[in-house]
Amino acid sequence: MTSSWATHLVVAVAAFLAGRLSALGVGITEPLADVAADVLPHLVAAPAGHGDVEVTTTTASVQTDARGEIHNFKLGGARFNVLVTRAASRRSGDVHRHVQYDAIFSGRVAVTSREGGRDVRREYGAGDFIALPAHTPHLFEFLNHTVMAEWWEHVSNRGEPFEARYYTPYRQRISAAMLRGGRRRGPPR
């Protein structure tokens, strides 16, 4: 086993254990309202520190991993992320209290969201704007190198912190893609 495989294995086991504990109520402080009944049993607390990044109006923080970069910053009191993501990568797999807005600057992305008890997949490209409803699980699959921005209704404008729960069916797809090194196997999901 190479050290990169060992690292991936440790991350996968930690995520699994965190999901098991949060399914028992550990780490979840308040339930999300208005979440569909078929979604609720699959929600787990995000790992400690998820969304906790130093963001100010004068400096941006940057998070980097095998998928690319996320630049976090504030503008006019609102928090924004600019994502630079490699092809075949997946991100998100979460649910939150606020509407999420996304603007695609370049590239192409497929967004799967859980709607009415089924997964709905839509594709977007450069110049497209996306509004993901609150309390809706969503997954981004980057079809080619993509640059996009994301922000959330009311987060920071009202002083409300960003809070998310992971939707395990989508998070499992992200973990599987990261273990494969982002390479797609079979038809896109």
The ranges assigned to domains in the chain are 3-179
Kindly give, in sequence order, each residue whose CB lies less than 8 Å from that of residue 10, ignoring residues fewer than 6 positions away: none
Per-residue pLDDT tens over the stretch 83-138: 999 999 999 999 988 899 999 999 999 999 999 999 999 999 999 999 999 999 99
The structure's pTM equals 0.75
CATH number of 3-179: 2.60.120.10
- At 59, which helix (H) or strand (E)? none
Kindly give, in sequence order, each residue whose CB lies less than 8 Å from that of residue 57, ignoring residues fewer than 6 positions away: 73, 74, 75
Per-residue pLDDT tens over the stretch 66-75: 999 999 887 7
